[in-house]
Amino acid sequence: MSDMMISTEPATGNQIWRGKVGNVDRAMERALSAKTGWARESTARRMELVRRFANEVLKHADPFAELIARETGKPLWEARTEVEAVKNKVEISITAFAERTGQKKLDSALQGSAGLRHKPHGVMAVLGPYNFPAHLPNGHIVPALIAGNVVVFKPSEKTPAVGEFLTKLFHEAGIPEDVVQCVHGGADIGKALVAHPSIDGLLFTGSAPAGIAINKKLAGDPSKIVALEMGGNNPIVMLETPKIEDAAVTIIQSAFTTAGQRCTAARRLIVPDNFYDQIVPAVKTLAERLLVDEPFADPQPFMGTVIDNQAADLLVESREALLERGGEDILAMTRPNTDLPFLTPGIIDVTAISDRPDVELFGPLLQVIRVADFDAAIAEANNTRYGLSASLIGGDPKDFERFWAEIRAGIVNWNKPTNGASSAAPFGGIGLSGNHRPAAFYAADYCAYPVASTETDQPRASIGIGLKDTSQPVRKSKDAHK
């Protein structure tokens, strides 16, 4: 096996980065040597350093965004929003730490005081995805650092250059190199990191199969905190609305932003029969207008590439499989250049498929399902093992109240896209979408553990019952001297 890795630009096929595969054992040695010192730093000092990191992100915003765009294939405008999210994560995480894992003290003159404080876990392994190679791992790393953990970060093997750039910005901010390390590698390096006995926690964003494998591997060791943010087979349920164009835009944003490569992207559009002919043609017309091009094209495209040719091949094969099983193209997803992973938006009616595959097709392919009414729409929306994001478009407040109550998802929206969740709110799902440890604002919860204390400055104690009375003489037994 080669000890070198190469990363290429999806839009051109040109090499963008070359580097060495990491050494997990060496990285863990460095992390262990650094964890006590970092934990002993004051919270104020750790917050100061991550704020310096935010300044470094701002200072390097343009080259950072250009690198993200080149290595992921996403448009430059979208890469810039990712850099902005990386910067903004710092203040959000500081606020979350204070609210979610701050200190509390309850004083009592006679009983001393009761205290609640939090401690870091120690060494946190972070496994990052390729679709948001800076923002999503950063959403684990910053809260972990504020809480006093050290981090060993493995970027996706498809976006190592962005992972390395992100890590260097932490170092340029003054955070020691042993406190945040970047370890490159493929699945074998990820597995070695998960299995290493010295990690105290594993923070993962990625596919459900990989997350399930991690969960199985660590299930026998309850001492390790495990936070899994996985994918979704996310539904949009459509009800009647006079705002046809707005509804179509919301659906397009949900299904095709980032070329459909968001865990919160809409995979299924569920439409009652009586509204199908109004909304579906509007969505098709708008999808046909979307520009698909390389990241720096002028005018800027709505979509760039998917991550690589392997992903493009899988999506093309998945569409063909749906057509063979009874699906009908509304808008054919095409691949203009077989040598590069550009795909045009695709919309396919899968109503006639009786046993629809419950999988996450991670790309620009929207499945449409016709149903009889709202009851059937909710049942179809919940017909999935996933449970990340769901949106209701149209309807009235009572409809949304019912939708919110009955839908199984960690993010439930009304007249808003399924994607684009706020970092100031918790982010996560249920079922195959996560393990009930939401990220974003709630990341603070899994980066530290609570410690309850009762305290007083001097020992004061007494036993009021159950003691022998020593004030009375002890009677000797008659047989004591025999």
252-294 confidence digits (pLDDT tens): 999 999 999 999 999 999 999 999 999 999 999 999 999 999 9
What local confidence, expressed as pLDDT, does residue 83 receive?
Answer: 98
**Alpha carbons 208 and 213: distance in angstroms, whole number:** 9
What local confidence, expressed as pLDDT, does residue 456 receive?
Answer: 83
**Cβ distance 81 to 135 under 8 Å?**
no
What local confidence, expressed as pLDDT, does residue 422 receive?
Answer: 85
Q: What does the mean pLDDT of the chain come to?
A: 95
What local confidence, expressed as pLDDT, does residue 1 receive?
Answer: 52
pLDDT in tens, 126-161: 999 999 999 999 999 999 999 999 999 999 999 999
| Position 464, amino acid | G
- Averaged pLDDT, 116-124: 96
Q: Per-residue pLDDT for 476 more than 70?
A: no
**Cβ distance 254 to 268 under 8 Å?**
no
Short-list 359, 330, 333, CA closest to 256? 333
Domains in the chain (CATH in brackets) are 4-230+434-455 (3.40.605.10), 234-422 (3.40.309.10)
What local confidence, expressed as pLDDT, does residue 108 receive?
Answer: 63
The half-sphere exposure of 70 on its side-chain side, counting CA atoms within 13 A, is 16
**Close Cβ partners of 436 (under 8 Å, ≥ 6 residues apart):** 428, 430
Burial of 35-61, coded b for 16+ CB within 10 Å and e otherwise, reads beebbebebeebbebbebbbebbeebe
How does residue 478 score in pLDDT terms, banded at 50, 70 and 90? low
**Alpha carbons 76 and 89: distance in angstroms, whole number:** 20
**Alpha carbons 83 and 161: distance in angstroms, whole number:** 15
Q: What is the pTM of this model?
A: 0.95
> E-strand spans in 206-353?
225-229, 234-238, 266-272, 328-331, 346-349
Q: Per-residue pLDDT for 192 more than 60?
A: yes
What local confidence, expressed as pLDDT, does residue 113 receive?
Answer: 83
Q: Per-residue pLDDT for 7 more than 90?
A: yes
Instruction: Kindly state the helix (H) or strand (E) to which residue 205 belongs, with its residue range.
Output: strand 201-205
Taking the CB of residue 292, how many other CB atoms lie within 10 A of it? 20
3-class DSSP assignment, residue 53? helix
- Averaged pLDDT, 398-410: 98
**Alpha carbons 108 and 336: distance in angstroms, whole number:** 73
**Cβ distance 419 to 232 under 8 Å?**
no
**Alpha carbons 63 and 169: distance in angstroms, whole number:** 12
Q: Per the structure block, which two tokens stand in for 158? A: 């498809």
Burial of 83-92, coded b for 16+ CB within 10 Å and e otherwise, reads bebbbebbbb
Q: Per the structure block, which two tokens stand in for 97? A: 């730490």
What local confidence, expressed as pLDDT, does residue 264 receive?
Answer: 98
- Averaged pLDDT, 299-309: 98
Taking the CB of residue 285, how many other CB atoms lie within 10 A of it? 12
pLDDT in tens, 406-423: 999 999 999 999 997 888
Short-list 239, 301, 249, CA closest to 272? 239
What local confidence, expressed as pLDDT, does residue 56 receive?
Answer: 98
Matching residue, tokens 């470094």:
56
Q: Per-residue pLDDT for 244 more than 60?
A: yes
β-strands 365-371, 346-349: how paired?
parallel
What local confidence, expressed as pLDDT, does residue 479 receive?
Answer: 57
What are φ and ψ of residue 417, in 5° steps?
-60, 160
Catalytic residue positions?
229, 263
